[in-house]
């Protein structure tokens, strides 16, 4: 689902101030009738929604209720079949995911390898990340699906493009630790808008690592312009540009403060960067710019012949690199713990 498409659909040729307010409006408040036709369809076993119960945690200042699910490690045997779905403008890709729900226990069910938080794209909700949760939980990770503020069943009447959402997630994880439903450190996998939120979170909380950023945008204005050209070319580019430029002030931020590339200035965030060759919202050049600003250990992967909407559904191509990335981080954490445990007392001169 492309970033901000639903917001653009209701703007029309109206003053830039009105458009700016629509851009920060909670996507969950938009009428479904204004949403553009989906470019991708998907489904997963309905049993998941009952076997993995929804929960709510109230966090933040001012407080917001965040809806989440915790997916325990188990053998879910996720499978994917790609077909076509008829629509008004022709057929669209349809990804049908099957799985064993509930999954059979594994050695990791009682002792998870760690926590992975999964963050959806704009105008979507946690359901869009269910296939990845099942895949990673099958590999031994406890997965946390969350509706970001203003999305799905979570509260909030506006979005903040990562500024407030990052604090929400830290507070949510602290609450999950208190409830014994998750633990630090927390890896994070985000898609599009969710990837931008993940990057902001990782730059603010050192307990968040590593990051998997699938088709993140480098600059909000560029992403919105890409959407305008793809979905709403009847909106004047200049009008939309002025609207985007005024969004930071509406959120109490400065120019450039909503651009992920400015958050990575320290070069310490380590990420697996995933770009899509045919992406007009977060083109490969934008993702490469983010990679250049990240830690040297970061890795870049490009999906060929894939659009922005299709990228997170390339499970067969992405699952190996993504699992390897998380496995390497887990091995590094274990090595660090072992090193600290084996480290004897030191003296002032280092002996």
Tell me the per-residue pLDDT of 31-69, one tens digit each, with 9 for 90 and over. Answer: 876 667 788 999 999 999 999 999 999 998 778 999 999
Q: What token pair was written down for 341?
A: 């445990």
Task: Name the strands in the sheet holding 90-98, side by side, starting at the edge strand that comes first in the sequence.
Answer: 41-43, 90-98, 79-87
Looking at residue 265, its pLDDT comes to 83
What are the helix (H) ranges across the chain? 5-9, 16-23, 47-51, 130-138, 165-178, 193-204, 220-231, 237-250, 260-263, 284-292, 315-342
List the chain pLDDT tens, one digit each, 351 residues.
343 444 444 444 457 889 999 999 999 998 876 667 788 999 999 999 999 999 999 998 778 999 999 999 999 999 999 999 988 778 999 999 999 999 999 999 999 999 999 999 999 999 999 999 999 999 999 999 999 999 999 999 999 999 999 999 999 999 999 999 999 999 999 999 999 999 999 999 999 999 999 999 999 999 999 999 988 888 889 999 999 999 999 999 999 999 999 999 888 999 999 999 999 999 999 999 999 999 999 999 999 999 999 999 999 999 999 999 999 987 777 556 555 444 433 333 332
57, 175, 139, 100: which is closest to 326 by C-alpha? 139
Let me know if domain 5-339 sits in CATH 3.40.50.1820: yes
Q: What token pair was written down for 308?
A: 């922005």
Looking at residue 326, its pLDDT comes to 96
List the domain boundaries for the chain. Answer: 5-339
Looking at residue 12, its pLDDT comes to 45
Q: What's this model's pTM, rounded to 2 decimal places? A: 0.91
Looking at residue 60, its pLDDT comes to 84
């Amino acid at each position: 689902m492309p970033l901000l498409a639903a917001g653009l659909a209701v703007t029309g040729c109206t003053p830039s101030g009105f458009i700016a307010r629509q851009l920060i409006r909670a996507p969950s408040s938009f009428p479904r009738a204004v949403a553009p036709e989906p470019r991708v369809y998907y489904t997963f076993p309905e049993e998941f929604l009952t076997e993995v119960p929804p929960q709510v945690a109230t966090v933040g200042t001012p407080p917001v209720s965040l809806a989440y699910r915790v997916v325990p490690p188990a053998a879910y045997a996720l499978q994917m079949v790609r077909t076509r779905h008829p629509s008004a403008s022709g057929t669209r890709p349809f990804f049908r995911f099957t799985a064993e729900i509930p999954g059979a226990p594994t050695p990791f069910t009682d002792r998870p390898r760690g926590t992975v938080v999964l963050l959806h794209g704009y105008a979507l909700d946690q359901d869009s990340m269910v296939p990845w949760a099942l895949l990673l939980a099958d590999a031994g990770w406890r997965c946390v699906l969350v509706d970001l503020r203003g999305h799905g069943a979570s509260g909030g009447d506006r979005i903040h493009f990562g500024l407030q959402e990052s604090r929400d997630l830290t507070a949510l994880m602290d609450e999950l630790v208190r409830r014994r439903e998750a633990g630090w450190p927390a890896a994070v996998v985000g898609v599009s808008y969710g990837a931008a939120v993940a990057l902001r979170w990782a730059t603010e909380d050192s307990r968040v690592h590593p990051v998997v950023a699938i088709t993140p945008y480098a600059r909000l204005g560029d992403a919105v312009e890409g959407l305008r050209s793809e979905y709403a070319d009847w909106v004047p580019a200049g009008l939309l540009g002025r609207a985007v430029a005024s969004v930071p002030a509406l959120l109490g931020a400065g120019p450039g403060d909503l651009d992920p590339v400015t958050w990575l200035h320290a070069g310490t965030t380590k990420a697996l960067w995933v770009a899509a060759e045919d992406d007009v919202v977060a083109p490969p050049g934008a993702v490469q710019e983010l990679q250049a600003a990240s830690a040297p250990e970061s890795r870049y992967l490009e999906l060929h012949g894939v659009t922005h909407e299709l990228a997170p559904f390339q499970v067969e191509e992405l699952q190996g690199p993504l699992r390897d990335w998380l496995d390497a981080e887990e091995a590094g954490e274990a090595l660090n713990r072992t090193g600290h445990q084996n480290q004897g007392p030191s003296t002032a001169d280092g002996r």
